[in-house]
């Protein structure tokens, strides 16, 4: 067990009550199945299991093995009703199919990274604690941030920083990073953060200048938008009629993708699977939650129900 219990207890799942109200609006009957496609530390999953009652089964996916170990611990009291799977949610249909779990009653997706991923220097997500340039949620496959930075052109890096990080100094930062790489200086998240700090003119109060670049690199390394796009392609058809899909996003690009997809699938001309949007207005955290849990400030939740 690599993630400590302290790390778990310090992690507060966002929008819990609002999520339960949308995903599990009333007592559910026997044989119901919910899928938490980003089970993480198991906080939302535990709330679903408690709220939906003793007849409910939960399938939890995560692409991070450490997160799954942690979720297994947190969900131990419900072990008989829980199945945890190490897989990216872009494989949702084949995972559920293999478990004989289609149709499901509800999906939750709580996007982004978990606190232990950010807090543990060796995962390489942090600009505050220097570590290897990794940034992979699934450390068993794929390209690390170091691999990505070793092969990317300056123009491509600039595009990634602008599109995924909404970084207005994308050009300057990309140039500084590529120059440092070519001098062989790019060896840790700490040096990367220092290079970015030197590239950016002036300072924003309350915001590390590396925030947007690290976010952009993380999105690129983990192909996060492609993952979400593929999930949204597959998930609605895996729902039973009346089953619900709830997505919590922390990045405007992800939220926009969800909004557009829900709208397109709610069009009456859309054949099955068709959705009905449940959140005409986006759901955000209450002032009280935002004050208690700063992470909740950028959370945006949308939900839809399968209508055909």
Ligand X SMILES: C[S@@+](CC[C@H](N)C(=O)[O-])C[C@H]1O[C@@H](n2cnc3c(N)ncnc32)[C@H](O)[C@@H]1O
Least distance (Å) between residue 52 CB and ligand X: 15
H-type alpha helices, the chain: 5-9, 16-23, 43-52, 65-74, 92-98, 115-119, 145-151, 154-165, 170-182, 189-199, 211-221, 224-238, 252-266, 287-292
For residue 10, give both structure tokens. Answer: 């310090």
Of 62 and 289, the one with the shorter C-beta distance to ligand X is: 62
Of 136 and 176, the one with the shorter C-beta distance to ligand X is: 136
Size of the site for ligand X (CB under 6 A): 20
Of 40 and 124, the one with the shorter C-beta distance to ligand X is: 40
Angle at 89 between CA 93 and CA 24, to 5 degrees: 80
Please give the residues from 37 up to 76 whose contact with ligand X meets the rule CB under 6 A.
Answer: 38, 40-44, 61-64, 67
- Out of 60, 88, 124, 165, point to the residue binding ligand X (CB under 6 A): 88
Least distance (Å) between residue 206 CB and ligand X: 22
Angle at 236 between CA 307 and CA 27, to 5 degrees: 65
- Out of 96, 106, 114, 210, point to the residue binding ligand X (CB under 6 A): 114
Place of tokens 């995560």: 62
Least distance (Å) between residue 212 CB and ligand X: 19
> Which residue's C-beta sits nearest to ligand X?
40
Using the CB atoms, write b or e for 136-158: b if 16+ within 10 Å. bbebeeebbbbebbeebebeebb
Q: Does 275 bind ligand X (CB under 6 A)?
A: no
- The site for ligand X (CB under 6 A) is made up of 13, 38, 40-44, 61-64, 67, 88-89, 110, 112-114, 137, 227
């Amino acid at each position: 067990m690599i993630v400590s219990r302290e790390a778990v207890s310090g992690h507060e799942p966002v929008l819990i009550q609002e999520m339960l109200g949308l995903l599990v609006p009333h007592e559910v009957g026997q044989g119901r199945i919910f899928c938490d496609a980003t089970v993480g530390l198991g906080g939302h999953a535990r709330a679903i299991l408690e709220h939906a009652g003793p007849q409910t089964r939960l399938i939890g996916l995560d692409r991070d093995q450490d997160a799954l170990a942690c979720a297994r611990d947190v969900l131990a009291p419900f072990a008989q009703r829980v199945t945890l799977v190490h897989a990216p949610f872009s494989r949702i249909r084949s995972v559920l199919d293999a478990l004989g779990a289609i149709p499901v009653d509800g999906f939750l997706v709580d996007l982004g990274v978990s606190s232990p991923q950010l807090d543990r220097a060796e995962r390489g997500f942090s600009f505050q604690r220097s570590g290897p340039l990794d940034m992979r949620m699934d450390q068993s496959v794929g390209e690390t941030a170091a691999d990505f930075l070793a092969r990317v052109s300056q123009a491509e890096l600039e595009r990634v920083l602008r599109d995924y990080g909404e970084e207005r100094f994308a050009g300057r930062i990309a140039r500084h990073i590529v120059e440092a790489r070519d001098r062989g200086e790019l060896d840790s998240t700490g040096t990367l953060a220092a290079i970015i700090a030197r590239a950016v003119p002036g300072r924003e109060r309350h915001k590390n200048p590396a925030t947007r670049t690290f976010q952009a690199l993380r999105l690129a390394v983990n192909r996060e938008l492609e993952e979400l796009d593929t999930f949204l392609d597959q998930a609605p058809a895996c729902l039973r009629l009346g089953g619900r899909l709830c997505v919590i996003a922390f990045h405007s690009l992800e939220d926009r993708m969800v909004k557009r997809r829900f709208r397109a699938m709610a069009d009456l001309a859309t054949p099955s699977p068709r959705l009905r949007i449940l959140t005409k207005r986006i759901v955000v955290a209450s002032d009280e939650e935002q004050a208690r849990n700063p992470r909740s400030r950028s959370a945006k939740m949308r939900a839809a129900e399968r209508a055909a």
